[in-house]
Amino acid sequence: MEAMEAMVPVVPMVKPALRRGWRDLHTVQFGMAPAHAMTLGPMDTATGSFLDLLNGTRGLPLLREEGRRMDLPDGHVDGLVKQLARSGLLDDAKGGGPAADALRGKKEVLDRLRPDLGSLSLVTSEPGDAMRLLAAPRSLRVQVRGAGRVGAVLASLLAGAGIGEVDVRDVGRVERWDVAPGGLPAESVGDRRDEAARQAARRSAPDRPPRRDRGTPPSDGDPGFSLVILTPRDDVAVHAPPPSAAEPLIGSGTPHLYAGVVEATGVVGPLVLPGETGCAGCLHEARTDRDPAWPRLVAQWRSGSGKSRHVRPCDLTLATTVAGLAAAHALANIVTDSELCEEYITPSMFDHRVVPAVASAVADAAVRTGVARRKRA
């Protein structure tokens, strides 16, 4: 009974993301999509009208008073609230903890993130969890290494999703072929590539992220980063990630993810959790075991990658898809196996348990839908 009471929200609110409709005079359906739809009944007219009062503006004492005015039986309001909470249909308008309260205090920022909050409410069952998960990334720092068509869009997506700080690292100047919707704008051509990408990410952020002194940037493998995402513009580095590039990250224990485009194939992964999962060096050794010619090919590709004057293939739709999958991969939170499908990917906070529960589902969905091919270990 105590566990049941713990589920009851302080300020109950029927999840607004779920559309409501009456299947008949006594049965109400919450939600449209089969993954989330649920029916409750039998329900009388007065109780159906009372549902409109569960809108996050009243606590339980006031709701009980409203129930008495509507001639609902004693205990009926509490029973209804408990039933809806057990069914995962209620949220808590005041729940989520201190970080959530701080986010509620920034109305304009929260308004930008309300669609994300709605999505989170559909894949969390405990009242207040959606707001807690929405607020959590605001304390995180993520670095994107590579500001081409994939990396720049990815940085903007992460910033727009509410990551507290998104740093971007690259060299050189923006070229005309770097321009992409959601990434580097046309007016940035000729500007420093990394700074242009950081500016694009800042413009996408719902809140003003902290600006760091350019003279004292975070060092490679800074343990303050929750995640580093490697999105090289060089397709050889995407197809055969050099292990040396990730050695500082391995040494500092920093999680890192690889993403990019190789010819006409999108690549997302592997996601490396140092000490727990395979790294770029493991990938190289495994490929060498399967194909003795692999090191020889990689050496030739790398020796020629800097000499070619041709712009490497990276069409907008594929680059944007890869950036979206990588962002979802980075933002994914634990969800149940029954909820893992290609219809949705859940954005929330980083969790080291993400690998066994979500990573394979994202990859399987991409392969099944033809978006990408699996990079075998």
Q: CATH number of the domain that 66 lies in?
A: 3.90.930.60
User: pLDDT value at position 345?
Assistant: 42
Q: Could you list the beta-strand ranges (E) of 219-372.
A: 227-230, 256-262, 265-272
Residue among 251, 253, 285, 256 at smallest CA distance from 268: 256
37: in domain: yes
Residues 63 and 170 in one domain: no
The pLDDT averaged over each successive group of 10 residues in the chain (377 residues) is 59 93 92 91 90 93 94 92 91 91 92 92 89 87 94 95 92 94 94 95 85 53 76 92 90 91 92 88 91 91 73 92 92 45 40 43 53 52
Q: What is the DSSP letter of 192?
A: B
DSSP state of 273: -
Which of 53, 69, 92 marks a domain boundary? Answer: 92
At residue 218, the pLDDT reads 52
Specify the number of domains making up the chain: 2
| Whether 302 and 169 share a structural domain | yes
Confidence at residue 109, expressed as pLDDT on a 0 to 100 scale? 92
Residues 57 and 145 in one domain: no
The pLDDT value recorded for residue 306 is 57
Task: Tell me the pTM.
Answer: 0.79
Q: Is residue 125 situated within a structural domain?
A: no
pLDDT computed for residue 232 by the predictor: 94
Indicate whether 80 and 167 sit together in one domain.
Answer: no
- The rounded distance, in Å, linking the Cα atoms of 274 and 240 is 19
How high is the pLDDT of residue 90? Answer: 93
Q: What is the pLDDT of residue 353?
A: 41
Distance between CA atoms of residues 72 and 89, nearest Å: 21
53-98 residue pLDDT tens: 999 999 999 999 999 999 999 999 999 999 999 888 999 999 988 9
Rounded to an integer, what distance in angstroms lies between the CA atom of residue 83 and that of residue 66? Answer: 18
Which of 183, 143, 181, 138 has its CA nearest to residue 347? Answer: 138
Instruction: Say yes or no: 81 and 179 in one domain.
Output: no
Distant-in-sequence, close-in-space partners of 266: CB < 8 Å, separation ≥ 6: 260, 318, 319, 321, 322, 325, 366, 371, 372
Q: Which residue range forms the structural domain that includes residue 349? A: 140-368
24 & 163 share domain: no
Are residues 75 and 186 located together in one domain of the fold? no
Residues 158 and 232 in one domain: yes
CATH number of the domain enclosing 255: 3.40.50.720
Chain mean pLDDT for the chain: 83
